[in-house]
Structure 1
Amino acid sequence: MARWQPHASERLVAAALELFEEQGYEKTTVIEIAERAGLTKSTFFRHFRDKREVLFGRGTVAGLLADGIGAAPAGAGPLDAVAHALDVIGEQVFTPDRREFGARRSAVIAANPELREREALKELGLTAAMTDALKRRGFADLTARVAAELGALACTVAYERWRHAADRDDFGDVARRTLREVQAASASC
């Protein structure tokens, strides 16, 4: 094995996903992931704390959502700020080349209760990050929380739609449409 090779993190993610699909999450070890990627176990742990983190990252999306809300135009309402944040993650995370990965990742998560639980915790973290960012923009606690909850729901539904979209719209477009639908649905309750 080479001492250093570029793109180790991406190679580890690809190797892990392949192994999770082939033999299941529970049966896959960190050593197998590292070997499949042509790397060492210590290299794996330089990039990820454990094998779950390969699928969930280190809070990248939460940070981008918070930054996107913070960077929304002055005077933007809470849902407009959330929409801006959804555009940001569409540009930086949910890019067209990640669509297939997203579908494969979701299938692996759906097959494992531990991973479904971790996904639910991640979604709570996204909501909390958006709530805090909205509060920093000066919105009242309840307004921030409601907007963040609607944004999180829209993000989840938009991600599902985007992964399966036949028209191949950008994530940001799908997310904005979904956010409008979620907002309309909440108003009719």
Structure 2
Amino acid sequence: MGRWEPNARGRLERAALELYSEHGFEQTTVTEIAKRAGLTERTFFRHYADKREVLFGNATSLEELLVGALNGAPESAAPIDAVAVALDAAAAVFEDRREHSQKRQKVIVANAELRERELIKLASLSAALADALRGRGVADPAASLAAEAGIAVFKIAFERWGGETNQRPIAQLMRESLDELKAVTAGK
């Protein structure tokens, strides 16, 4: 095996997801993941702290994408509309990864520890969006409420998208979920 292999993170992510899908999260070892990826355990640990993090390694990138898009929303946008701009940016990234996202979600749903980690990730995303809204001058509790609502919209749309058989785009499902939220809060 050579000293350097291109796209080690991607290969580890794919190998882990395949193994988790085949054998379950608990039954899969780091050694098996590294071997399937054609890499060493040492390389695995250079990229990930543990085997859970293979499923959550892109959380920082997602947070940066959401916050960057929210910060790019027009200053005149209402807080929930600025969050919607962030959700649109996320939808564009996820659309090309439907199969991967569905497999990943099945693995997460099947394991309590991973479900907990997913909730922590969503809470972190909400906190980052709330901070970004505060940076735009939105006071609390409006900043926190808009961020939490946005993450709820994201979560519901993502679950619908992952289970959809008619292949509707996630962006459409996010807009529909946001419209539903607005209708619920308007009392319609």
Query: TM-score normalised to the size of structure 2?
Result: 0.93
Is the Cα contact below 8 Å between 1:64 and 1:89 reproduced in 2? yes
How far apart are residue 153 of structure 1 and its match? Answer: 0.5
Contiguous gaps of at least 5 residues in structure 2: none
Is the Cα contact below 8 Å between 1:69 and 1:82 reproduced in 2? yes
How far apart are residue 117 of structure 1 and its match? Answer: 0.7
SS at match of 1:2: coil
How far apart are residue 173 of structure 1 and its match? Answer: 2.5
SS at match of 2:28: coil
Cα RMSD between the aligned structures?
A: 1.5
Alignment of 1:31-180 (within 5 A): 31-57=31-57, 58-92=59-93, 94-96=94-96, 98-180=97-179
Distance between the aligned counterparts of 1:111 and 1:170, measured in 2? 25
Matched residue type, 2:130: T
Distance between the aligned counterparts of 2:166 and 2:146, measured in 1? 28
> 1:16 aligns to what?
16
Distance between the aligned counterparts of 1:170 and 1:6, measured in 2? 31
Contiguous gaps of at least 5 residues in structure 1: none
Distance between the aligned counterparts of 1:17 and 1:160, measured in 2? 18
What is the identity percentage for the equivalent residue pairs of Structure 1 and Structure 2?
Answer: 49
Runs of 4+ in structure 1 off by over 6 angstroms are: none
> 2:25 aligns to what?
25
Distance between the aligned counterparts of 1:48 and 1:183, measured in 2? 39
Distance between the aligned counterparts of 1:2 and 1:173, measured in 2? 45
How far apart are residue 188 of structure 1 and its match? Answer: 2.5
Distance between the aligned counterparts of 1:91 and 1:181, measured in 2? 21
Matched residue type, 2:54: V
Matched residue type, 2:61: T
How many aligned positions are there? 187
